[in-house]
Amino acid sequence: MNKWSKQKRQLEDMKAKLEARINSDAHEETKHALSASTGELSNYDNHPADTATDLYEREKDTAIYAHIEKELADVNLALNKINSGTYGICEKTGQTIPTERLSANPTARMIVAEARSHIADDRPVEEEVLDSFGRYNYDNDDSETEFDAEDAYQSVARFNENSMVYEDASLDEGEELIGYVEELEGFLSTGIEGYTGTDQVQFQRNVHYDHYMDEL
């Protein structure tokens, strides 16, 4: 009886399942344009969130099938090694891979100690920006002259120093009225019927009124 008969059966079973998934209609669908999956000829009348959801699902499927293809390649390599008599030998050290490890992971190519040393230590790219402004502050670095993160914060924070500016204000730092033709419209208003007399005019003492009085 072949020494690796158990592992070979495992690998052949894995190969059959992986090939079935790769040859499925769902996999073929990922090879076509996204519009073929959604049935939409144009995204003009679609909400951006709906389009984003469809794109996310397509990218997820692509990543899954890329992983399946890599797994199938590892299975085929292991089967070729069984046929050539090199199965169960660590590619890095030449040592024999324990049978227990091959039973648990029949595509193992190295002993545990070497496999651990080959684990990728890549960190998510998002971590590069999940830090304080100090990480991107180049004030003490004479070799750096760009507009750094601290400069960006200071550029935005300066608006908080202007008492005439607040969130959603219609009066900006340049004293330009936004949304009004006449400055009086900022603090005087009428009902839905329009101007019907001085007694129907509503007066509000707000930032526009203060600004108007300061100008006077």
In a domain, 152, yes or no: yes
The answer to whether position 182 is within a domain reads yes
- 53 and 69, same domain (yes or no): yes
Measured between alpha carbons, how far is residue 50 from residues 33, 45, 142, 201 in Å?
A: 16, 11, 48, 46
Same domain, 55 and 9: yes
Domain that holds residue 54: 5-87
Q: What is the pLDDT of residue 176?
A: 53
- Is position 120 within any domain? no
Any domain includes 99: no
Q: What is the pLDDT of residues 110-154, one digit of tens each?
A: 998 888 776 666 777 777 666 666 666 777 777 777 777 667 777
- Residue 96 resides in a domain: no
Q: Is the pLDDT of residue 42 over 70?
A: no
Q: How many domains does the chain have?
A: 3
The predicted pLDDT at position 1 comes to 42
| 106 inside domain | no
Q: Is pLDDT above 60 for 168?
A: no
pLDDT reported for residue 17:
93
What's the whole-number average pLDDT of the chain?
Answer: 78
With respect to residue 95, please indicate whether it lies within any of the assigned structural domains.
no
Within-domain flag for 110: no
Percent of the chain whose pLDDT exceeds 70: 73
How many percent of the chain have pLDDT more than 90?
A: 24
